[in-house]
């Protein structure tokens, strides 16, 4: 996509399409309630008692979000909100389903001495997430305002990325900030949004220098040495995150986002080549001396070779087997054994429950829903008129896409597993909050982008035109 475009692309009649959104929202809530009923019937043989509360709660959240969009972002994209609601609703059902598992209850009692169900907490996080979504739409009247905070957001993002170093590692990675009496926070999720704001503001100013000042060598444009500065800085930072926080996911997301946005801003393929080379060098370099990363790579290469000796190998092996036992059409909701994964079955590994209980068909549908969210984001970028909005929409949606790829690829054994959450579905407050805020910003940009041009003002001279006869 070029951001110095020569054409404007818009819908013929840009209707607000709010009613389409409402219908799809009703459909999405109905699917989630159906899933809840199905799980209850499969597990106990009777309609679960919480179904009314769940249905009303989800419908209330969706309804509030819809009314706010109808009032404050009339021309926004009609698909983003229903897709996010569907994923969040189905995610809640899966988390609730794993709460019912006797194995996981037993495991929690052994490890922590008590068991607290996750689904009510996740429902609360979803409600806070929708509140944040509403707040974004109410407070952010124009996304161009964010451009003013380019360097402030760079600073905030750096603080958020560096802060977890000073907190004790949990589960082998330092990605949490622990606030006493409140709980823990995963700042990387919020840094994703804030860093996209910084990159778009920065690249909007610098893209001409980065795109034009280059030499042609062997068919590709080589950037000048001094223009390599920023990419080297970002690369070094992401390597540092990898070394000190042993967090592969954030590091990959951070660097990948920058390379994608560089490519979009400058239209130079050479950036992608450089980016891939540098990340390969960095990954291989770090993997040779960092034991935590090494363990992940071993688990990825041969999960069944070390199945009995290493916890992470066992998790990956169990996840692969749950995908396998799901087959094409799945075992049916509530009838799988993905709870054997044990630790993080409802967080990083929630996709393997989807894979087992809904099968290939269901997993594809869920991944398509993610794909559609990304598509709507890129589409918003195409339609946006200002370069900052274009870059921000591309940045947010590609960040979302990279996150889905990294976690889904990790669970499926395509790439080494990293500690990231599947947006909207996985259990975790920070993730749900940050992704609702992300959808809010995308809806704000798409409202500005799809808003039809105001009708031409009646010419003040129109009534003065008269035929003068001799």
Partner 1 sequence: MSELTLTVMRLGFLAVLWLFVIVAVQVIRSDLFGTRVTQRGSRRGGSGDTRTQQARQGAAPPHQRQQQQQGAGRQRRGSPTKLVVSEGTLTGTTVALHGQTITLGRAHDSTIVLDDDYASSRHARIYPDRDGQWIVEDLGSTNGTYLDRTRLTTPIPIPLGAPIRIGKTVIELRK
Residue 439 C-beta: closest distance to partner 1, Å:
15
Residues in touch with partner 1 (CB under 8 A): 4-13, 17, 20, 24, 27-28, 31, 34-35, 38, 41-42, 45, 78-79, 82-83, 86, 204-205, 329-333, 335, 358-359, 361-362, 365-366, 368-369, 372, 375-376, 379, 385-388, 451-462, 464-465
Contact 272, 259 (CB under 8 A): yes
State phi, psi for 217 to the nearest 5 degrees: -145, 120
**CB count, 10 Å around CB of 262?**
25
Nearer to partner 1, 59 or 185 (CB): 59
Nearer to partner 1, 212 or 276 (CB): 212
Residue 187 C-beta: closest distance to partner 1, Å:
29
Interatomic CA distance for residues 298 and 312, integer angstroms: 9
The residues with which 178 forms a beta bridge, in sequence order, are 184
Nearer to partner 1, 203 or 434 (CB): 203
Nearer to partner 1, 93 or 433 (CB): 93
The CA distances from residue 295 to 3, 165, 352, in Å, are 42, 20, 21
State phi, psi for 73 to the nearest 5 degrees: -145, 65
Residue 52 C-beta: closest distance to partner 1, Å:
19
Residue 197 C-beta: closest distance to partner 1, Å:
14
Nearer to partner 1, 12 or 218 (CB): 12
Q: Is 256 exposed, middle or buried (0-12, 13-18, 19+ CB in 10 A)?
A: buried
Nearer to partner 1, 293 or 366 (CB): 366
Nearer to partner 1, 183 or 452 (CB): 452
Residue 227 C-beta: closest distance to partner 1, Å:
17
Residue 214 C-beta: closest distance to partner 1, Å:
20
Structure tokens at 177: 């900030």
Contact 361, 329 (CB under 8 A): yes
> What's the half-sphere exposure (Cβ side, CA atoms, 13 Å) at 227?
21
Residue 13 C-beta: closest distance to partner 1, Å:
7
Nearer to partner 1, 252 or 374 (CB): 374
3-state SS, 363-408, equals: HHHHHHHHHHHHHHHHHHHHHCCCHHHHHHHHHHHHHHHHHHHHHH
Residue 296 C-beta: closest distance to partner 1, Å:
32
Query: Which of 174, 50, 165, 166 minimizes the C-alpha distance to 100?
Result: 50
DSSP 8-state secondary structure symbol assigned to residue 420:
-
């Amino acid at each position: 996509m070029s951001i110095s475009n020569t054409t404007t692309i818009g819908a013929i009649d840009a209707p607000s399409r709010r009613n389409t959104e409402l219908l799809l929202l009703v459909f999405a809530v109905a699917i989630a309630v159906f899933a809840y009923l199905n799980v209850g019937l499969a597990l106990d043989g009777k309609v679960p008692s919480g179904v009314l509360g769940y249905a009303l709660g989800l419908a209330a959240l969706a309804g509030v979000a819809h009314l706010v969009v109808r009032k404050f972002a009339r021309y926004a994209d009609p698909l983003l909100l229903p897709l996010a609601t569907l994923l969040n609703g189905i995610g809640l059902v899966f988390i609730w389903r794993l709460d019912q598992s006797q194995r996981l209850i037993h495991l929690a009692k052994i490890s922590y001495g008590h068991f607290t169900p996750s689904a009510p907490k996740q429902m609360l996080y979803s409600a806070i997430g929708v509140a944040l979504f509403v707040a974004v739409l109410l407070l952010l009247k124009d996304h161009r305002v964010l451009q003013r905070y380019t360097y402030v957001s760079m600073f905030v993002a750096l603080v958020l990325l560096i802060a977890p170093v000073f907190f004790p590692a949990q589960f082998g990675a330092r990605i949490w900030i622990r606030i006493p009496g409140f709980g823990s926070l995963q700042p990387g999720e919020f840094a994703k949004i804030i860093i996209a704001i910084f990159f778009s503001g920065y690249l909007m100013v610098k893209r001409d220098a980065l795109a034009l000042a280059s030499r042609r060598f062997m068919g590709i444009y080589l950037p000048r040495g001094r223009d390599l500065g920023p990419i080297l800085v970002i690369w070094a930072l992401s390597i540092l995150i990898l070394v000190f926080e042993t967090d592969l996911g954030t590091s990959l997301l951070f660097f990948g986002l920058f390379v994608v946005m560089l490519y979009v801003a400058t239209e130079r393929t050479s950036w992608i080549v450089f980016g891939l080379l540098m990340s390969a060098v960095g990954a291989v370099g770090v993997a040779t001396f960092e034991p935590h990363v090494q363990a992940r790579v071993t688990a990825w290469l041969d999960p069944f070779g070390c199945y009995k000796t290493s916890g992470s190998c066992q998790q990956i092996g169990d996840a692969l087997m749950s995908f396998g036992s799901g087959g094409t059409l799945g075992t049916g909701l509530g009838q799988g054994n993905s709870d054997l994964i044990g630790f993080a079955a409802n967080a990083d590994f929630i996709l393997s429950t989807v894979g087992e209980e809904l099968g290939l068909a269901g997993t594809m549908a869920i991944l398509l829903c993610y794909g559609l969210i990304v598509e709507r984001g890129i589409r918003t970028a195409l339609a946006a008129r200002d370069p900052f909005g274009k870059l921000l929409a591309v940045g947010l949606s590609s960040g979302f896409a990279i996150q889905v790829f990294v976690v889904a690829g990790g669970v499926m054994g395509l790439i080494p597993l990293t500690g990231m959450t599947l947006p909207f579905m996985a259990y975790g407050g920070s993730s749900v909050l940050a992704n609702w805020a992300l959808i809010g910003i995308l809806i704000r940009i798409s409202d500005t982008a799809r808003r039809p041009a105001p009708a031409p003002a009646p010419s003040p001279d129109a009534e003065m035109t008269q035929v003068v006869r001799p």
